[in-house]
Structure formats: structure tokens, C-alpha cells
Amino acid sequence: MRLTWSRTIAGLLAVAFSPCAEAQETPAGPMRWADVVRRIDLLPHVRQAVLRAEAAEAGVAAAGQIPNPEFETRLGRGRPRGQGDAGLEWGLGVTIPFDWLGPRAGEVRAVRAEADSTRLDAVHARNEVLGRLAALYWRLVYDRHLVSTLEETESQVARLAGLVRLRVEKGEARPTEVPRIETDLERVRLDLARARSADRADRRTFAVLLDVPEPGLLVAKVELGPRRGAGDLEPTVFKVMDRHPGLAAAQARVSAGQAQVSAERARRVPAFSVGAFYDRDLDKDSVGGLVQVKLPLWNWNSAAIRRAEADASAHEQSVEAAARDLRAEVATAWERCVQGQDTLDRFRQEIVPRAEATSRAVEKGFEAGEMTIVEVLDARRVLLDVRKEQLAASLEARTDCVALEVLTGDIGRVE
């Protein structure tokens, strides 16, 4: 797995996290998906992941630091064994440890790999947050389309109700047709009120999550269906396995575990320190050097090595498990996305046009006196149900394809 890609994305995250990004304001007019993507790096879930990546990067520098020398001083009062007055004795010493030379390379590699995994986790967290926001964003688009559809239906049914009243007044229709059409009109108005309420609730939730003012928040009324095809399955699986930051992070943790094994094994090598001293006694001055050696006589660091090896093996198994889960998840998301697109195409090309043609034909027949109001209402109700089902299918298809875009990393792309 190439980690250069993750570092590039991490750099982009760092740029977006800079103070200039915080100066962004809520866009004027309806909000588009590109506006959401531009604000994503200001959200707490993403910011905390970026800060953790920065902390891990600082940890790499800390692991590469050379230990400081150790200074010591000795101060006491001495008395000669023979004759003589007691006096002050003191000494100075400095020791430079070199016990870090053995495990240092392995520890630095381990910390660097952990920093890579943390950066990749930040990319993964960003994609996950974008996925959750995308689901809610397209729900808001669905709300707008549903409200618009119901408003149009209300206007048409109200016009039809006026026509029925006029025909009843002229004696061309039975009086019982008026309450029937008015009942249907009230049902449409009730659906419209519910749709408007759901729209307000979703906008309020979206405003809180995106940290924008809720009053006046409105998303653009764009096409609800998927923006692109799902492509073929095998290339999609290969793309996900090659680019998914979660899998790359797991592989980086394997590298960290292997480097930690090397560091623990290096601790078996005898460690040493060098130093110098100066002592002033009552009867002499002493100066010289020293060498300290730590010999692994009783503790060969075997337990720590076994622990590091077990951790490394566990990370390897986690990569295999993550890869299998990812393949299965991609296959499921791809199948749902493709099926959602096929379903939506059927609604667009077959179901909705036929329902609209039937409704127009029945209404013309009613105006010509050839159809009853019952037939008109049935046709109108079928058309409304079909349009609502098409909107629901569009939302489901978009949501299913959003899940696939999160896996492929295309969720942050704007067009």
C-alpha cells in the first residue's frame, strides 16, 4: 500500500485546517454539495483527527531525540583516619548514555509507522463524516422535491375540485362528488404539511451538524439520482483495496508492530555509557573517566519480545480481516448502487411516463364528460404515489451510491 497518497491527503487536510479556512462563511443562496465539502474540515470530528495526526507527527520527532547527558555532584565532610582536621570533600561527574543506540532505529520506525496510520485514520474519519453529511444532504434535496411535488399536486387537485363544484352547480355532476374531491384534497394537504415538517426537522439537524445558521438554510434543488454510474465490480474492488485509508492504516500498524519487535530485540545487546569525573578529597584531587556497561544477565527482554511479536501478528490478522470485510462491503455497496440505478431508470423511462399519460387521458375524459370523478381521483392518486415512489427510489439510489463513494474515496469530489 502506498503511503504517499495518504500524506498528500493529510497535507490537504492540514491546509484546510489552517486559520484561513476558519474564515469561510455560509454561502449565500441555496447550499450545494461543494459548499458542504468546503466546510468539512472545520467540523470537530475532522479537526480532532487532524490534531491527532499532528500529535503523532510530533511524536516521531520526539522519538528521534538524543538523550541528554547526566550530571552529578557529590558533597560531604571527611575526616582523616590519622591526625588532621575534618574538611569538605566534593566531586563532579558527567555521564553520556548510549543505551539508546540499539533500539533507537526500531523505535523511530515504529513511531513513524504509527504516525502514518494516524494520518490515514484522519483521512478515513473525514470520508466517514462526509458520508454521513451526504446522506442528510440528499435527504434535504429529497425533502425539497417532495414538497414541490405535493405543492404541484395540491394545486392540480384544487383546480379539479373547483371544476367539480362548477359541474355540480350546473347539474352536470352528482353532489356527492364534491365531498369526495374535497376529501382527496385534504389528504394531499396533510401529506404536504408532513413533508414540510420533515424538511424543517432535517434542515435543523443539518444546520447543527454543519455549524451553520438554521434560519434561511436551503439546499439547492438539484437532480436527486446518482451523479455517475457504479462502473464494473472488479475495477471498483481493486480501486478500494488500493486506496482505502482504513486498510492502509491497518497495514501501517503492521509495520509499526514489526519495527517494535526489532527494537525489543535490540535491547538484548549490552548497553553502555561513558563519562568523566573530578573528585576533591582532603588529601588529594582525582580526575578520570568511566565506562558503565549494562549486561543482560537475568533479563533478556524475552517477555517484551514475545509481547511485541504477538502484537505484530495480531496486526497482520487485522489487515487480513479488514481486507475481507472491505471486499464484502464493496460488493454489497456496488450491488445496491447498481440496483438502485436500475430501479430509478425504470421509474423514469417506464412507470412515471405511463402514469402521467393515464392521468392526462382520464382528466380529459372527465372534462369531456366521459369519465367519472372516481376514475379521475384514482388516476391522480396513482400518479402521486408513483411520483413519491420515484423520489424515494432516487433518494435510496443516491444513498446507496454515496456508501460506495465513501469506500472508493470519491465522496469528497465535486462537479
Listing DSSP states for 349-402 in one string gives IIIHHHHHHHHHHHHHHHHTTSS-HHHHHHHHHHHHHHHHHHHHHHHHHHHHHH
Q: Quick one: pLDDT at residue 181?
A: 84
pLDDT band at 126 (very low <50, low <70, confident <90, very high): very high
CA 377/CA 359 separation, integer angstroms: 9
- Using pLDDT thresholds of 50, 70 and 90, give the confidence band for residue 411: confident
According to the CATH classification, is domain 4-67+107-251+316-412 in 1.20.1600.10? Answer: yes
Interatomic CA distance for residues 414 and 220, integer angstroms: 14
In the chain, what percentage of residues exceed pLDDT 70?
91
Report in angstroms the alpha-carbon separations of 200 from 104, 207, 215, 218, 357: 58, 10, 10, 10, 33
Tell me which of 85-94, 221-230, 333-342, 370-379 is least confident: 221-230
Is the CB of residue 410 less than 8 Å from the CB of residue 128?
no
pLDDT at 15: 38
- Which residue is listed with cell 405535493? 150
Q: What is the pLDDT of residue 21?
A: 39
**Per-residue pLDDT for 169 more than 60?**
yes
What gap in Å lies between CA 83 and CA 397, rounded to an integer?
102
Residues in the chain: 415
Average pLDDT on 290-305 reads 85
CB 143 within 8 A of CB 212: no
* Helix pair 177-210, 101-169: axis angle to 10 deg: 160
User: Which of these, 406, 386, 278, lies nearest to 336 by C-alpha position?
Assistant: 406
pLDDT at position 28, please? 58
Q: Letter for the amino acid at 370?
A: E
pLDDT average, residue stretch 201-212: 89
pLDDT exceeds cutoff 60 at 8: no
d(CA 295, CA 109): 25
Minimum mean pLDDT range among 52-61, 65-74, 84-93, 399-408:
84-93
pLDDT at position 19, please? 40
SS3 state of residue 324: helix
Q: What is the mean pLDDT of residues 184-202?
A: 93
What's the whole-number average pLDDT of the chain?
85
Q: Which residues contact 50 (CB under 8 A, 6 or more apart)?
A: 13, 14, 17, 41, 122
Residue 166's pLDDT band (boundaries 50, 70, 90)? confident
**Nearest in space to 315 (alpha carbons), one of 372, 255, 363:** 255
Q: What does the pLDDT read at residue 267?
A: 86
Instruction: Tell which residue, 44, 48, 41, has the closest CA to residue 9.
Output: 41
pLDDT at 363: 83
Distance spanning both ends of the chain, measured CA to CA: 28
Alpha-carbon distance 94 to 274, whole Å? 8
Residue 7's pLDDT is what?
A: 42
Q: How confident is the model at residue 18 (pLDDT cuts 50, 70, 90)?
A: very low
- Which residues lie closer than 8 Å to 225 by C-beta, 6 or more apart? 341, 344, 394, 397, 398
CA 320/CA 166 separation, integer angstroms? 73
Q: What mean pLDDT is predicted for residues 148-173?
A: 84
* Per-residue pLDDT at 324: 95
Percentage of residues in the chain with pLDDT exceeding 90? 43
Q: Is the pLDDT of residue 215 over 80?
A: no
Q: What's the rounded mean pLDDT across residues 347-376?
A: 86
Pairing of strands 70-78, 87-97: antiparallel
CA pair distance 317, 330, nearest whole angstrom:
20
The mean pLDDT value for 281-309 works out to 86
The residue extents of the domains of the chain are 4-67+107-251+316-412
